[in-house]
Amino acid sequence: MRSQITKLGLHTTAVLYTGGSIGQMLRVITNFQLQNLPYIIDWAILILGSIGTVTLVSITTRIAYRGRWEKPVHFMIIIHLVLSIALHAWAILVHSHDVFGVFPVEYSYFALLYFVFFAWRSWTIKVRNDDVASDA
């Protein structure tokens, strides 16, 4: 049962970053302004990001890290998720996306790179002492 919950949490994070990668790519292509973001996206990030964060924090010691590089990446993902949850929760709370005005479209070129990297890492993460491992 624990392994199924862990697997669900990891896949939730992977889906979130895959969707975010697609969103960043579309933003670059269409010049979409984040102030026009639909609130359903905020709710999705709030819910899926929370599930992913709790999962990643709870399995930190059970991850079969592929090298020294992966541990800081793991914590960068957790920090990114927490900050994203906070920003999107704020947007829901104040019913405004003005907070995202600090991210110009040009930022999405950089964001696309780390979103794709975080998505790849989330799909391929390995957990020790558990049957949770991506088959991607």
DSSP structure string for 62-122:
GB--SSTTHHHHHHHHHHHHHHHHHHHHHHHHHT--GGGGGS-TTHHHHHHHHHHHHHHHH
Give the H/E segment covering residue 15.
helix 2-30
Q: Domain residue spans in the chain?
A: 2-124
Query: What integer is the mean pLDDT of 62-91?
Result: 97
**Rounded distance, CA 60 to CA 40, Å?**
30
- Give the pLDDT confidence of 102-114 residue by residue, as tens digits: 999 999 999 999 9
Band of pLDDT at residue 1, cut at 50, 70 and 90: low
pLDDT at 119 over 90: yes
Task: Taking residues 17-42, report their average pLDDT.
Answer: 96
Q: Answer whether residue 39 shows pLDDT above 60.
A: yes
Collapsing DSSP to helix, strand or coil, 127 comes out as strand
